[in-house]
Amino acid sequence: APDAFVEAGAHLAERVLDGLEGKTAAVVGAGQMAALAVKHLRARGIGPIRVLNRSLERARALAERTSAEHDDLAGLPGALARADLVVSATGAPGAVINRDAVLAAMDGRGRPLFVLDLAVPRDVEPSVGEIGGVLLVDIEGLRETLAARAAEAILAQVDRAANGSLT
């Protein structure tokens, strides 16, 4: 379910960035997944959010519904440089965020960048994850996180049941 992926991604970002309150986010895309991302980030107290999309009108529409700023993809380099967290969820057939753009954003930067790629196919070139100070998480990584959480929950239930039956 899209909501589970967005929730898991927001939770990971919160852990990696030591909380989201006051942090800056860029959300690339303006569809359902992007809207869910904005909702989850707002619920976690994130600071300014900039919605970017190929269509400025679609970016504006989502931004107005969610009290965010908006821009078209020409604003991506600046948004990457300012953001602590980037969520990408477009319907593009190929990469929207490339290694060179993220390298430029990280130049002289003294803080980490968490990049959450919720798109299928990927919006973010995999090599972005090799850049120092950048943590890239994609749908496959979130699937593993969700599977691990489910396994932990089942094991906890088994432990409770076993402990309950022993007392």
Nearest 5°: phi and psi at 137?
-125, 130
Quote the pTM value: 0.88
Dist CA 94 CA 153 (whole Å): 36
End-to-end CA distance of the chain: 38
Residue bearing tokens 């939770």: 11
**76-107 pLDDT, tens digit each:** 999 999 999 999 999 999 999 999 999 999 99
Q: What is the pLDDT of residues 38-53, one digit of tens each?
A: 999 999 999 999 999 9
